[in-house]
Structure 1
Amino acid sequence: MVRGRISRLSVRDVRFPTSLGGHGSDAMHTDPDYSAAYVVIETDAKDGLKGCGLTFTLGKVACAVNALAHHLLHKDIRDIVSDFRSFYRQLTSDGQLRWIGPEKGVVHLATAAVLNAVWDLWAKQEGKPLWKLLVDMDPKTLLSCIDFRYITDVLTEEEAYEILRKGRVGNKEREEQMLAEGYPAYTTSCAWLGYSDHMLKQLCAEALKDGWTRFKVKVGADLQDDVRRCRLIRDMIGPENTLMLDANQRWDVPEAVEWTQKLATFKPLWIEEPTSPDDILGHAAIAKALAPLGIGVATGEQCHNRVIFKQLLQAKALQFLQIDSCRLGSVNENLSVLLMAKKFEIPVCPHAGGVGLCELVQHLILFDYISVSASLQNRMCEYVDHLHEHFEYPVTIKKAAYMPPKDAGYSTEMKEESIKKYQYPDGEVWKKLLAAQENTSSALRNFP
């Protein structure tokens, strides 16, 4: 039973210097430092449980979280979750902050961090991992968490209820299957754009040895280099394994078609984020042009909200839908997208590259399979082997599959020692790095 009045909300800016090793590098983000706005909410309940939430970002979202804090402070957690749709709309309809969005950008990222913490606390108080909380939830209760505004032309609440009702058939067997076998994953860790050929080969060899059969490679900076790297990877993994391409929004529409056609010889399953994430008709044009080659379009990690996903589905602009556990407005909005994807019968293959994203999105994809899609055809979840050691309940991968977490909560809780060490700019790691950068800059200024 959920209980307690929210007495405190804190947020910290936690950044990891992944750019030093080229981790996370792609054609658009050449030197990213993976970061998170990390939120903790506390209540006056005697159980002492805390709700932990985060949003993955390469920027600073903490200020926006603080701007939303007054919506939570002194609220009873029971009142929030018993009318979650209204609370969600309250956050996304803040009279001042909505002007910055609406439901997009830094404010929406902050909303995700705050609500992820609420869901974490709710699941902890119920003594269940989040995926199990969702799977066990009565359909009407689950639907009361979703804001259907702006999507009823595609999915009504009544249609969503029918999807969930049908999803209860065989869900116990699917849950047992997931507990025994896990959810299929693919790896992005082998082929960041900043990796050398030697590292790429080494990581591919290790991944193959560990049972990985699905690999994604970053492309988009240089065509000839892409051809060379794709050939290297395809030769490494063989013709029987699956290859995906990710351009990270680098191209114009005609360029995306032409470039991908020249990489078609390597038999990629999809081209991911080929152009601007806001260009729905552009994605549709790319998808139509590449369909004869058997190459699908995958996108979604940078989609602002459920409305963009709605239009991508309506326009037949994607063949693989990639939800993100932090870009959208937390679990609430992701639930609406999962249900729309089911109506259109488009497979969901979540984005999970970034600090904490694997930990979070595993819960959503398990719920999707057990209670919504009931299918694993053309479905897999991204996995990136970075930064899991900083979490209290890190993701577990066995035989290239996500094993369902069993600890209560949303797997969002970070280790306090990691937060202190990597907090920006006062953590031990950043003090040293920033001091070194200043020394280098000073030496260059004084160079005769």
Structure 2
Amino acid sequence: MRWYEPHEEEVKFLCCCFCEEALGLLFLSPSAPQHTDPDYSAAYVVLETDGGLRGFGLTFTLGKGTEIVVCAVQAMTGLVVGKSLEEIVRDFRGFYRLLTSDGQMRWLGPEKGVIHLATAALLNAVWDLWARMEGKPLWKLLVDMSPERLVSCIDFRYITDVLTEEEALELLVKAQEGKRQREEEMLREGYPAYTTSCAWLGYSDQQLKQLCTDALKGGWTKFKVKVGADLDDDVRRCRLIRQMIGPDNTLMIDANQRWDVSEAISWVSNLAEVKPLWIEEPTSPDDILGHAAISKALAPLGIGVATGEQCHNRVMFKQFLQAGALQFVQIDSCRLGSVNENLAVLLMAHKFRVPVCPHAGGVGLCELVQHLILFDYICVSASLSNRMCEYVDHLHEHFVCPVVIHNARYMPPKIPGYSCEMLESSVKKHQYPDGDAWKLYPKK
């Protein structure tokens, strides 16, 4: 942990000190096709004001390389320390562009890769700080903003051929109708979720059956299955899951970028009998035209394509939507440039009438993205048709304000902030490389 002390005269509101912490939580995730040995980890950022208020942010990783993200955060420190929160949020678009357009660091992106993960962690902390200062959970902070204020947070550079500032404002103004009723609905009933916890690769049939049985008893009706390692085994496992959950519940499949385009089409066609709603990440996350080809080939089978958890930025999402390359948008709260860039994607998805079904499940991703999807329903899409948010039932015990799931729905957080803050005990135990938890494992 390093502390950065700005000159006293520079302190207005934000950041008399700033620290970065990379937390390796050592959660050995159930296997996914392309991520066979992950250590779920996070780069964790804390912003502190001269008044003692703190904001917390993070970006999720899979272990090795987290220290690189921390280095990127450190490199951006000079752009943040000494500024006031009022100064930042008064021109949030300008601040976003300041972080993403540094004359030298921009070369490392621009707006993608490690430098963008670091940007997300920093901005997540700023949004958390702002929400705490206003005494509201992040979703409520967004819901209570005027359309004009929301639009002022978005950088429209590179996307005006699809969504202009004027169009975004019009969409938000139109969605004001019924907003309070939708907010009350969410507070009462929560936002629909689906589970990824029942069908990771490597689970035995007995374990699959037990997990599905337990989930069904808990009210779950939407299930995602990891596929891509072995076709015959995928067919068998998906048949088993479909038999367990019945014909009326929803099944999705996720390949985590496993296949080439033609292989994806062939493989998923062989799984069409189990009627998956979508195939997630069937090929390289950068291959927009490949996703378009897969979407076109699978459309007659009634299977959509979902992707976005590793989509670099709003520009790529723009092109995915333009090309008809996805039928489900999967935003990520730590891959894109925090709330600011996710707002742009939510609005573009709404314009193209493509449902948003966020990615979650890693360290803090459920805690974060619940705020964004609540805002999307209340203030943008006003629809729950084919919409759901991913949920994975691990690592929530490390957070001060963990997600609350009731009847397979995300219940809106009520504590001020972006739900990023981790327990001090978890920070102390899992901080890399000196935390007690790391002493139990050899360095890789």
Asked if these proteins are the same fold (TM beyond 0.5), I'd say yes
Pick from 305, 321, 324: which aligns with 1:297? 305
What pairs up with 1:60-139 in 2 under 5 angstroms? 60=66, 61-139=69-147
What pairs up with 1:215-364 in 2 under 5 angstroms? 215-364=223-372
Which residue in 1 is equivalent to 2:387? 379
User: 1:332 & 1:74 partners in 2: Cα distance?
Assistant: 21
The answer (yes or no) to whether the contact 1:297–1:319 under 8 Å persists in 2 is yes
User: 2:25 & 2:339 partners in 1: Cα distance?
Assistant: 25
For the residue of structure 2 that corresponds to 1:34, the secondary structure is strand
What pairs up with 1:175-214 in 2 under 5 angstroms? 175-214=183-222
Which residue in 2 is equivalent to 1:4? 13
For the residue of structure 1 that corresponds to 2:294, the secondary structure is helix
Deviations 1:171-221 (A, max 9, x none): 000000000000000000111113222222211111011000000000011
User: 1:266 & 1:139 partners in 2: Cα distance?
Assistant: 43
Alpha-carbon spacing, 1:331–1:24, altered in 2? closer, same or farther (3 Å): farther
Pick from 13, 17, 29: which aligns with 2:22? 13
For the residue of structure 1 that corresponds to 2:405, the secondary structure is coil
1:32 aligns with 2:41: no
The answer (yes or no) to whether the contact 2:43–2:60 under 8 Å persists in 1 is yes
User: 1:198 & 1:96 partners in 2: Cα distance?
Assistant: 54
Which residue in 1 is equivalent to 2:48? 42
Report deviation, 1:50. 0.4
User: 1:31 & 1:434 partners in 2: Cα distance?
Assistant: 14
Deviations 1:389-433 (A, max 9, x none): 000000000000000000000000000100111112211111112
For the residue of structure 2 that corresponds to 1:268, the secondary structure is coil
The answer (yes or no) to whether the contact 2:14–2:47 under 8 Å persists in 1 is no
Q: Which residue identity is paired with 1:388?
A: H
Kindly, what percent of the aligned residue pairs are identical? 74
Report deviation, 1:24. 4.1
Report deviation, 1:49. 1.7
Output the aligned Cα RMSD: 1.0
User: 1:175 & 1:420 partners in 2: Cα distance?
Assistant: 37
Report deviation, 1:146. 0.4
- Structure 2's unaligned 5+ residue stretches are 1-11
Pick from 49, 52, 55: which aligns with 2:59? 55
Report deviation, 1:338. 0.2
The answer (yes or no) to whether the contact 1:18–1:24 under 8 Å persists in 2 is no
The answer (yes or no) to whether the contact 1:30–1:194 under 8 Å persists in 2 is no
Q: Which residue identity is paired with 1:44?
A: D
| Matched residue count | 429
- Structure 1's unaligned 5+ residue stretches are 438-448
Q: Which residue identity is paired with 1:162?
A: E
User: 2:210 & 2:73 partners in 1: Cα distance?
Assistant: 41
Q: Which residue identity is paired with 1:31?
A: D
For the residue of structure 2 that corresponds to 1:18, the secondary structure is strand
For the residue of structure 1 that corresponds to 2:363, the secondary structure is coil
Report deviation, 1:96. 1.8
- TM-score normalised per structure 1: 0.94
Q: Which residue identity is paired with 1:50?
A: R
State which drifts further: 59-68 or 285-294: 59-68
User: 2:166 & 2:33 partners in 1: Cα distance?
Assistant: 43
Q: Which residue identity is paired with 1:397?
A: I
Deviations 1:98-129 (A, max 9, x none): 11111000000000000000000000000000
Deviations 1:348-377 (A, max 9, x none): 000002010000000000000000000000
The answer (yes or no) to whether the contact 1:26–1:218 under 8 Å persists in 2 is yes
Which residue in 1 is equivalent to 2:162? 154
- TM-score normalised per structure 2: 0.95
Deviations 1:291-346 (A, max 9, x none): 00000000000000000000000000000000000000000000000000010010
Q: Which residue identity is paired with 2:43?
A: A
Alpha-carbon spacing, 1:157–1:24, altered in 2? closer, same or farther (3 Å): farther
User: 2:213 & 2:110 partners in 1: Cα distance?
Assistant: 45
